[in-house]
Structure 1
Amino acid sequence: MHISTLFFGELDVQESEVVTFTQGVPGFEGLTKFTLVQPEDSAPFSYIQSVQNGDLSFLVTDPFLFFKEYDIHLSDSLLEELKIETADDVIVWSVVTVNSDFTKFTLNLLAPIIWNVKSKMAKQVILHDSEYNVKHEIVLGEAAQVEG
Protein backbone atom coordinates (compact mmCIF):
# COMPACT_ATOMS: atom_id res chain seq x y z
CA MET A 1 0.00 0.00 0.00
CA HIS A 2 1.06 3.55 -0.63
CA ILE A 3 0.71 6.17 2.12
CA SER A 4 1.50 9.86 2.23
CA THR A 5 3.07 10.86 5.56
CA LEU A 6 3.74 14.16 7.26
CA PHE A 7 7.37 13.43 8.17
CA PHE A 8 8.55 10.78 5.68
CA GLY A 9 6.82 11.80 2.46
CA GLU A 10 5.49 8.96 0.36
CA LEU A 11 5.97 5.46 1.77
CA ASP A 12 5.33 2.10 0.19
CA VAL A 13 4.33 -0.28 2.95
CA GLN A 14 3.99 -4.00 2.40
CA GLU A 15 1.07 -5.72 4.13
CA SER A 16 3.65 -7.89 5.93
CA GLU A 17 5.06 -4.73 7.55
CA VAL A 18 1.74 -3.66 9.06
CA VAL A 19 1.20 -4.28 12.76
CA THR A 20 -2.26 -4.25 14.29
CA PHE A 21 -2.77 -2.53 17.63
CA THR A 22 -5.53 -4.69 19.09
CA GLN A 23 -7.28 -1.75 20.77
CA GLY A 24 -5.79 1.15 18.87
CA VAL A 25 -3.38 3.51 20.59
CA PRO A 26 -4.61 5.40 23.68
CA GLY A 27 -6.04 8.68 22.45
CA PHE A 28 -6.28 7.29 18.90
CA GLU A 29 -8.39 4.18 19.47
CA GLY A 30 -9.78 4.25 15.92
CA LEU A 31 -6.33 3.84 14.42
CA THR A 32 -5.14 0.25 14.59
CA LYS A 33 -2.73 -0.21 11.66
CA PHE A 34 0.87 0.95 12.01
CA THR A 35 4.28 0.29 10.54
CA LEU A 36 7.78 0.79 11.87
CA VAL A 37 9.95 3.41 10.15
CA GLN A 38 13.65 3.33 11.00
CA PRO A 39 15.57 6.12 9.24
CA GLU A 40 19.32 5.43 9.35
CA ASP A 41 20.10 8.92 10.67
CA SER A 42 17.64 8.58 13.58
CA ALA A 43 19.24 5.71 15.53
CA PRO A 44 18.60 4.80 18.31
CA PHE A 45 15.15 6.20 17.59
CA SER A 46 12.46 4.83 15.31
CA TYR A 47 8.94 5.86 14.42
CA ILE A 48 5.67 4.02 14.64
CA GLN A 49 3.74 5.42 11.69
CA SER A 50 -0.02 5.08 11.26
CA VAL A 51 -0.90 3.66 7.86
CA GLN A 52 -4.46 4.98 8.25
CA ASN A 53 -3.47 8.58 9.04
CA GLY A 54 -0.26 9.86 7.45
CA ASP A 55 -0.11 12.77 9.91
CA LEU A 56 0.30 10.49 12.94
CA SER A 57 3.57 8.93 14.02
CA PHE A 58 5.19 8.30 17.38
CA LEU A 59 8.88 8.66 18.13
CA VAL A 60 9.98 5.52 19.99
CA THR A 61 13.10 3.78 21.24
CA ASP A 62 14.16 0.62 22.98
CA PRO A 63 13.91 1.55 26.69
CA PHE A 64 16.54 -1.02 27.64
CA LEU A 65 19.19 1.04 25.82
CA PHE A 66 18.78 3.76 28.44
CA PHE A 67 17.43 1.87 31.47
CA LYS A 68 19.16 -1.51 31.74
CA GLU A 69 17.24 -2.31 34.94
CA TYR A 70 13.84 -1.60 33.35
CA ASP A 71 11.62 -4.49 34.37
CA ILE A 72 8.11 -5.22 33.21
CA HIS A 73 5.82 -8.17 33.68
CA LEU A 74 3.42 -9.17 30.93
CA SER A 75 0.18 -10.70 32.14
CA ASP A 76 -1.01 -14.05 30.86
CA SER A 77 -4.02 -12.33 29.29
CA LEU A 78 -1.71 -9.96 27.35
CA LEU A 79 0.47 -12.87 26.20
CA GLU A 80 -2.67 -14.58 24.94
CA GLU A 81 -4.14 -11.43 23.35
CA LEU A 82 -0.96 -10.71 21.38
CA LYS A 83 -0.24 -14.40 20.72
CA ILE A 84 3.18 -14.16 22.37
CA GLU A 85 4.80 -17.58 22.63
CA THR A 86 8.42 -16.75 23.48
CA ALA A 87 10.45 -13.74 24.59
CA ASP A 88 11.99 -13.66 21.11
CA ASP A 89 8.56 -12.73 19.71
CA VAL A 90 8.57 -9.41 21.58
CA ILE A 91 10.06 -5.98 21.06
CA VAL A 92 9.36 -3.36 23.73
CA TRP A 93 9.14 0.27 22.67
CA SER A 94 8.82 3.42 24.77
CA VAL A 95 7.34 6.62 23.39
CA VAL A 96 9.83 9.49 23.40
CA THR A 97 8.88 13.08 24.17
CA VAL A 98 11.19 15.87 23.04
CA ASN A 99 10.93 19.42 24.36
CA SER A 100 10.50 22.36 21.99
CA ASP A 101 14.21 23.19 21.67
CA PHE A 102 15.31 19.54 21.34
CA THR A 103 17.47 19.65 24.48
CA LYS A 104 15.49 17.31 26.72
CA PHE A 105 14.25 13.83 25.92
CA THR A 106 12.01 11.72 28.12
CA LEU A 107 10.73 8.16 27.85
CA ASN A 108 7.33 6.92 28.88
CA LEU A 109 8.26 3.85 30.92
CA LEU A 110 4.81 3.61 32.50
CA ALA A 111 3.09 2.71 29.23
CA PRO A 112 5.38 0.58 27.04
CA ILE A 113 4.35 -0.67 23.63
CA ILE A 114 4.50 -4.45 23.45
CA TRP A 115 5.10 -5.46 19.83
CA ASN A 116 4.88 -9.09 18.70
CA VAL A 117 7.09 -9.34 15.63
CA LYS A 118 5.78 -12.81 14.84
CA SER A 119 1.99 -12.28 15.01
CA LYS A 120 2.21 -8.61 13.90
CA MET A 121 0.11 -7.51 16.86
CA ALA A 122 0.87 -4.77 19.39
CA LYS A 123 -0.59 -2.98 22.35
CA GLN A 124 0.38 -0.05 24.52
CA VAL A 125 -0.10 -1.19 28.10
CA ILE A 126 -0.19 0.74 31.35
CA LEU A 127 1.88 -0.79 34.12
CA HIS A 128 -0.26 -0.67 37.24
CA ASP A 129 1.38 -0.51 40.69
CA SER A 130 4.63 0.57 39.06
CA GLU A 131 7.39 2.93 40.17
CA TYR A 132 7.77 4.07 36.55
CA ASN A 133 6.22 7.25 35.20
CA VAL A 134 5.58 8.87 31.83
CA LYS A 135 8.64 11.13 31.83
CA HIS A 136 11.99 9.51 32.58
CA GLU A 137 14.73 11.82 31.34
CA ILE A 138 17.38 10.33 29.08
CA VAL A 139 20.78 11.53 27.95
CA LEU A 140 21.60 10.69 24.36
CA GLY A 141 25.24 9.85 25.09
CA GLU A 142 24.08 6.97 27.28
CA ALA A 143 22.67 5.03 24.32
CA ALA A 144 25.89 5.43 22.34
CA GLN A 145 27.83 3.88 25.21
CA VAL A 146 25.46 0.93 25.33
CA GLU A 147 25.66 0.33 21.59
CA GLY A 148 29.40 0.71 21.29
Structure 2
Amino acid sequence: MKISTLFFGELEVIDEEIVTFTQGVPGFEELTQFTLVQPEDSAPFSYIQSVQEGDLSFVVTDPFLFFKDYDISLPEALQAELKIEQPEDVLVWTVVTVNHDFSKITLNLLAPIIWNVKTKMAKQIILHDSEYNTKHEIVLNADSDEASEPTQVEG
Protein backbone atom coordinates (compact mmCIF):
# COMPACT_ATOMS: atom_id res chain seq x y z
CA MET A 1 0.00 0.00 0.00
CA LYS A 2 1.09 3.58 -0.60
CA ILE A 3 0.77 6.22 2.09
CA SER A 4 1.31 9.93 1.73
CA THR A 5 3.42 11.33 4.58
CA LEU A 6 4.30 14.80 5.76
CA PHE A 7 8.06 14.21 6.04
CA PHE A 8 8.81 11.34 3.67
CA GLY A 9 6.48 12.01 0.75
CA GLU A 10 4.84 8.91 -0.64
CA LEU A 11 5.95 5.66 1.00
CA GLU A 12 5.34 2.13 -0.15
CA VAL A 13 4.50 0.03 2.92
CA ILE A 14 4.07 -3.72 2.74
CA ASP A 15 1.93 -5.59 5.26
CA GLU A 16 4.97 -7.27 6.81
CA GLU A 17 6.36 -3.83 7.75
CA ILE A 18 3.25 -2.76 9.67
CA VAL A 19 3.41 -2.92 13.44
CA THR A 20 0.24 -2.86 15.51
CA PHE A 21 0.19 -0.84 18.72
CA THR A 22 -2.23 -2.88 20.79
CA GLN A 23 -3.79 0.19 22.43
CA GLY A 24 -2.70 2.89 20.02
CA VAL A 25 -0.13 5.47 21.04
CA PRO A 26 -0.87 7.63 24.09
CA GLY A 27 -2.67 10.72 22.86
CA PHE A 28 -3.46 8.97 19.56
CA GLU A 29 -5.25 5.85 20.80
CA GLU A 30 -7.27 5.51 17.58
CA LEU A 31 -4.07 5.10 15.55
CA THR A 32 -2.77 1.55 15.84
CA GLN A 33 -0.88 0.86 12.59
CA PHE A 34 2.70 2.14 12.23
CA THR A 35 5.81 1.42 10.22
CA LEU A 36 9.46 2.05 10.99
CA VAL A 37 11.26 4.48 8.66
CA GLN A 38 15.06 4.52 8.91
CA PRO A 39 16.61 7.09 6.56
CA GLU A 40 20.37 6.54 6.28
CA ASP A 41 21.12 10.22 6.85
CA SER A 42 19.25 10.37 10.17
CA ALA A 43 21.11 7.61 12.07
CA PRO A 44 21.02 6.99 15.01
CA PHE A 45 17.45 8.29 14.82
CA SER A 46 14.52 6.58 13.13
CA TYR A 47 10.84 7.38 12.73
CA ILE A 48 7.70 5.55 13.66
CA GLN A 49 5.28 6.64 10.93
CA SER A 50 1.53 6.22 11.25
CA VAL A 51 0.09 4.25 8.35
CA GLN A 52 -3.38 5.67 9.07
CA GLU A 53 -2.39 9.35 9.43
CA GLY A 54 0.37 10.51 7.10
CA ASP A 55 0.99 13.70 9.09
CA LEU A 56 1.94 11.78 12.24
CA SER A 57 5.38 10.34 12.92
CA PHE A 58 7.56 10.16 16.00
CA VAL A 59 11.34 10.45 16.10
CA VAL A 60 12.72 7.48 18.03
CA THR A 61 16.07 5.98 18.91
CA ASP A 62 17.58 3.03 20.71
CA PRO A 63 18.04 4.34 24.29
CA PHE A 64 20.93 1.95 24.94
CA LEU A 65 23.06 3.87 22.44
CA PHE A 66 23.02 6.85 24.80
CA PHE A 67 22.32 5.34 28.21
CA LYS A 68 24.30 2.12 28.56
CA ASP A 69 22.89 1.52 32.06
CA TYR A 70 19.23 2.02 31.04
CA ASP A 71 17.45 -0.77 32.84
CA ILE A 72 13.84 -1.82 32.44
CA SER A 73 11.97 -5.01 33.18
CA LEU A 74 8.88 -6.04 31.30
CA PRO A 75 5.92 -7.18 33.37
CA GLU A 76 4.65 -10.67 32.58
CA ALA A 77 1.27 -9.26 31.54
CA LEU A 78 2.98 -7.09 28.90
CA GLN A 79 5.05 -10.03 27.67
CA ALA A 80 1.83 -12.02 27.29
CA GLU A 81 0.00 -9.13 25.59
CA LEU A 82 2.77 -8.66 23.02
CA LYS A 83 3.42 -12.42 22.79
CA ILE A 84 7.08 -11.98 23.72
CA GLU A 85 8.83 -15.35 23.99
CA GLN A 86 12.55 -14.47 23.83
CA PRO A 87 14.50 -11.33 24.80
CA GLU A 88 15.93 -11.16 21.27
CA ASP A 89 12.37 -10.67 19.93
CA VAL A 90 12.23 -7.24 21.57
CA LEU A 91 13.34 -3.83 20.39
CA VAL A 92 13.16 -0.93 22.79
CA TRP A 93 12.64 2.56 21.37
CA THR A 94 12.39 5.89 23.11
CA VAL A 95 10.67 8.96 21.76
CA VAL A 96 13.03 11.82 20.95
CA THR A 97 12.17 15.47 21.49
CA VAL A 98 14.14 18.16 19.70
CA ASN A 99 13.66 21.85 20.47
CA HIS A 100 12.98 24.36 17.69
CA ASP A 101 16.64 25.21 17.02
CA PHE A 102 17.96 21.64 17.43
CA SER A 103 20.24 22.68 20.29
CA LYS A 104 18.66 20.33 22.82
CA ILE A 105 17.67 16.72 22.25
CA THR A 106 15.97 14.70 24.97
CA LEU A 107 14.81 11.10 25.27
CA ASN A 108 11.70 9.95 27.08
CA LEU A 109 13.13 7.12 29.16
CA LEU A 110 10.03 6.98 31.38
CA ALA A 111 7.78 5.74 28.57
CA PRO A 112 9.68 3.39 26.24
CA ILE A 113 8.11 1.68 23.26
CA ILE A 114 8.34 -2.09 23.48
CA TRP A 115 8.34 -3.65 20.01
CA ASN A 116 8.04 -7.38 19.33
CA VAL A 117 9.83 -7.91 16.01
CA LYS A 118 8.36 -11.41 15.56
CA THR A 119 4.66 -10.68 16.14
CA LYS A 120 4.81 -7.07 14.87
CA MET A 121 3.08 -5.85 18.02
CA ALA A 122 4.14 -2.86 20.11
CA LYS A 123 3.11 -0.80 23.07
CA GLN A 124 4.33 2.36 24.73
CA ILE A 125 4.50 1.70 28.45
CA ILE A 126 5.06 3.88 31.50
CA LEU A 127 7.68 2.72 33.98
CA HIS A 128 6.02 3.19 37.34
CA ASP A 129 8.22 3.77 40.41
CA SER A 130 11.14 4.67 38.16
CA GLU A 131 13.98 7.16 38.47
CA TYR A 132 13.60 7.92 34.75
CA ASN A 133 11.70 10.90 33.41
CA THR A 134 10.50 12.21 30.07
CA LYS A 135 13.48 14.50 29.37
CA HIS A 136 16.91 12.93 29.55
CA GLU A 137 19.22 15.17 27.56
CA ILE A 138 21.73 13.83 25.07
CA VAL A 139 24.49 15.66 23.25
CA LEU A 140 25.71 14.41 19.90
CA ASN A 141 29.36 14.79 19.04
CA ALA A 142 29.51 17.24 16.13
CA ASP A 143 32.16 15.11 14.36
CA SER A 144 30.18 11.87 14.37
CA ASP A 145 26.95 10.17 15.33
CA GLU A 146 28.44 9.24 18.67
CA ALA A 147 26.85 10.64 21.79
CA SER A 148 28.79 12.32 24.52
CA GLU A 149 27.99 11.83 28.19
CA PRO A 150 24.23 12.24 28.73
CA THR A 151 22.73 14.45 31.38
CA GLN A 152 19.30 14.37 32.93
CA VAL A 153 17.00 17.37 32.61
CA GLU A 154 14.32 17.82 35.25
CA GLY A 155 10.83 18.88 34.25
TM-score bucket (shorter structure):
over 0.9
- What SS does the corresponding residue of 2:126 show, helix, strand or coil? coil
The one-letter code of the counterpart of 2:9 is G
Map 1:1-148 → 2, pairs under 5 A: 1-141=1-141, 144=146
Please, which runs of 5 or more residues in structure 1 have no aligned partner?
none
Q: State the distance in 2 between where 1:34 and 1:89 align.
A: 18
Identity rate, percent: 77
Higher helix share: 1
Give the Å deviation of 1:143.
5.4
C-alpha RMSD of matched pairs (Å)? 1.3
Q: Kindly indicate whether the alpha-carbon contact (under 8 Å) linking 2:63 and 2:94 is maintained by their aligned counterparts in 1.
A: yes
Using the alignment, how far apart are the partners of 2:138 and 2:116 within structure 1? 25
Alignment length (residue pairs):
146
SS of the counterpart of 1:140?
coil
Secondary structure of the residue aligned to 1:48 is strand
- Distance 1:145-1:55 versus aligned 2 partners, 3 A rule: closer
SS of residue matched to 1:144: coil
TM-score between both structures, scaled by the size of structure 2? 0.92
Q: From the superposition, tell whether residues 135 and 12 of structure 1 become closer, same or farther in structure 2 (CA, over 3 Å).
A: same
The amino acid that maps onto 2:39 is P
The amino acid that maps onto 1:30 is E
Residues 47-97 of structure 1 show CA distances to partners (whole Å, capped at 9, x for unaligned) of 000000000000000000000000001000000000000011000000000
